[in-house]
Amino acid sequence: RLISFNSVVEKLKELYPDVHFEIVAMSTTGDKILDTALSKIGEKSLFTKELENALEKNEVDLVVHSLKDLPTVLPEGFTIGSVLKRENPHDAVVLHPKHKGKCLQSLANKSVVGTSSLRRAAQLKKRFPHLEFKDIRGNLNTRLKKLDEKDDFSAIILAAAGLRRMGWENRISQILGPDDCMYAVGQGALAVEVRARDQDILEMVSVLNDSDTVLRCIAERAFLKHLEGGCSVPVAVYTEVKNSQLYLTGAVYSLDGSDSLKETMQTSISSDNQKVDEKVQRVSITALKVSEAPQDAAVKLGVDLGNLLLSKGAKEILTVARQLNDAQ
């Protein structure tokens, strides 16, 4: 977390050499509850509440998060003032040292793979039925330790971006493409949360916005919000921007991956009208300096894709997944 924060502050220092930035490191409830499956705790705000308290009390002026930790609706008075250029959003396979050189496909029958995410487990169970998936919690350090020092897991699945930020790219033995495992909404992107009324700070952090990432993440978050998905249901996405078109693939899964719905839609994000709207939040993102029309198109794309999946029975799949997860 601190590593990602430092990278944001370095960028701001380059752009605003006269401003003094002080870093306040904080850990959150989500970081501390390490013995319970994330989907069980059920609250995305676990990773954000303490940080927002500090923001509310004016103890800090901006908070850096992984965008995937931020709920699609933020509490009153807060907004995401910038979404930085996305790193690799895909998931990565990290193998136990004794399996070096293998991939998920070549692991032995009944090999145990650790993941804390229902989304990853649902997709990978379907794709690699010969493997078993078990929950693993803790920060990156803890998880890698559990993998390396015990024999409980043959491999674990982690976000590639997180590993890269920690300087552990050399541990990645396989990057999972969209055919194997689509990623979480907002995965691989850092977001800066600020007080919505602080025009000066909003203006300052807006220079960090990466237009394509903003549009992709707005579409993803609008899709998730429309499905009312969260940590406790398997929802996955894949987005790309090509030739002024934004493509969004979204999917929902049953817990074991046997039941799923997946669709792709696209929209034009070219804009003749470069009007930039200062104050509008879209799925809790206030992206100054990004044109209004493409942002609206991205929201509509997410909602339209959500509606398409709902019309095909997504609600039923997610309701059963939520009930099963709660019962476990």
Q: What does the alpha-carbon distance between residue 266 and residue 18 come to, in Å, rounded to a whole number?
A: 43
Hey, what are 259's tokens?
Answer: 């039941």
Closest CA to 218 of 162, 272, 280: 280
C-alpha 153/C-alpha 94 separation (Å) is: 10
CA distance 323 to 328: 9
User: Is 69 among the residues known to form the active site?
Assistant: yes
Give CA separation, 161 vs 87, 189, 190, 193, 236, in Å.
6, 8, 10, 20, 17
SS3 of residue 92 by DSSP: strand
Which residue in the block uniquely carries the two structure tokens 């965008």?
67
Q: Which residues contact residue 233 at a Cβ distance below 8 angstroms, ignoring those fewer than 6 apart? A: 118, 252, 318, 321, 322, 325
Type of residue found at 152: D
- Alpha carbons 216 and 248: distance in angstroms, whole number: 8
Angle between helices 314-327 and 118-127 (to 10 degrees): 110
Packing angle between helix 314-327 and helix 292-311, nearest 10 degrees?
80
| Cross-strand partners of 133 | 113
Considering 69, 179, 210, 212, which one is annotated as catalytic?
69
In degrees and rounded to multiples of 5, residue 116 shows phi and psi of -95, 5
User: Which of 184, 310, 315 is CA-nearest to residue 238?
Assistant: 184
Name the β-bridge partners of 155. Answer: 95, 113
Take residue 183 and report the two structure tokens written for it.
Answer: 């990623």
Q: Annotated catalytic sites, by residue?
A: 69
